[in-house]
A = this chain, B = another copy of it.
Amino acid sequence: MLRTIAQGFLKKKTTIYDLAKKLGVSPATISRSLNDHPSISIKTKEKVLQAAKETGYRINKFASNLSLQKSNTIGVIVPRLNSDFMSTVLSGIEKIANNAGYNLIISQSLEQEAKEKFNTKTLFESGVDALLVSLANETKNYEHFATFTERKIPLLFFDRVVDLPNCPTIIIDNEAAGYQATEHLIKQGCENIIHVSSGLNRSVYKLRYSGYKKALKEFSTYNREQLVEVGNFSQAEAQKVVDYIQSSKQPVDGVFVSNDNLAVYIIKALLKAGYKIPDQIKIIGFNNDPVTQVISPELSTIDYPGYKMGKLAGQSILSHLNGSINIESADQIILKHELIIRESSQK
């Protein structure tokens, strides 16, 4: 028996073969007992359970996975872990998966297509039973997901989605949300509204933008469509927006930002630059992150139910795995969003 100087004995592991020998039965009986197979007598099962407890038997998932060709593990790829929205979604997914006895392998693409590809490959090779993805902004090619679709491993997209055959998606109606946000600003009297966004390669952002355009066309007497594109939603980008506003001939009086964080930084920068919010400039964000209620004036926004999205993503993929939903029937779940009006956009 192995031993080390500092800690005494290294606990050896027990296998079903050890238990079989100990009880004088076959390994098959041990396996069936542990899995509560109906054709094993209660008496035997009890003996096995007892012996398993005594010896500290633990199933070896490596062997079990190989035999069953499944891992009870779900892969998740997100652009980044450290965002309010994403971590909330993940929290929802984890809750559901954990309750169902599934593990979650989580990886981040950091908005890079190459990393997303790499992670997709890694997760495939780790043998995840299903994959949940929210796409990187950079991603333009979707062939790396073929390994999953070819082998009919359930693949689901949430938030940042793409329409692939037989892959369910979970989203909100981003176009309608963008439309409503813009409509709201117009109805509050804004006549020169800009839209601030990033990653227009992704449908989420493109659709919000197109909702914005649609509302302008429909409601605004002026219809001066202006997109201010930023590299990302970090504080550093806020200044670009302020610069744009300051140099605009026609004074900007409305800002629709497709991300709360950036909206908050823009508010701070605008206040610092001497603008009055909402008197001179009205502003609305997107997501309903907690930070919207911390900034002063409190930020109007679109509520995007992240936790619910996560739970649904988890449930949806689980029901695919359980076969209770036909894998062929790709579904699209559209969650309800909600316009939340706070101080930053009120007349």
Contact = CB atoms under 8 A, between A and B. Distances in A.
A150 to B, nearest CB: 4
Contacts of A103: 105, 107, 122-123, 126
Given A82-B88, A87-B83, A264-B294, A125 B61 contact: yes
Contacts of A10: 150-152
A307 to B, nearest CB: 8
A126 B264 contact: no
A7 interface: yes
Contact of A58 (B5, B71, B84, B147): B147
Interface in A61-97: 61-63, 65-66, 69, 71-73, 80-84, 86-88, 90-91, 94-95
Contact of A82 (B60, B84, B165): B84
B59 A69 contact: no
Contact of A107 (B59, B98, B126): B98
Contacts of A63: 66
Given A104-B107, A119-B98, A296-B296, A90 B81 contact: yes
Contacts of A290: 261, 291
A292 to B, nearest CB: 9
Interface size class on chain A is 35 or more
A94 B73 contact: no
Nearest to A103: B105
A295 B296 CA distance: 7
A6 interface: yes
A134 B43 CA distance: 42
B82 A87 contact: yes
Contacts of A151: 10-11, 13
A62 B69 contact: yes
A108 interface: yes
Interface string A1-25: 0001111001101000000000000
A86 B82 CA distance: 8
Contacts of A268: 293-294
A229 interface: no
Interface of A: 4-7, 10-11, 13, 58-63, 65-66, 69, 71-73, 80-84, 86-88, 90-91, 94-95, 98, 101, 103-108, 115, 119, 122-127, 147, 149-152, 165-166, 261, 264, 268, 290-291, 293-296, 307, 328
20 contacts: A7-B149, A7-B152, A10-B151, A10-B152, A58-B125, A58-B147, A60-B66, A62-B66, A62-B69, A62-B71, A81-B81, A81-B91, A84-B84, A103-B107, A103-B126, A104-B106, A105-B106, A106-B106, A291-B291, A295-B296
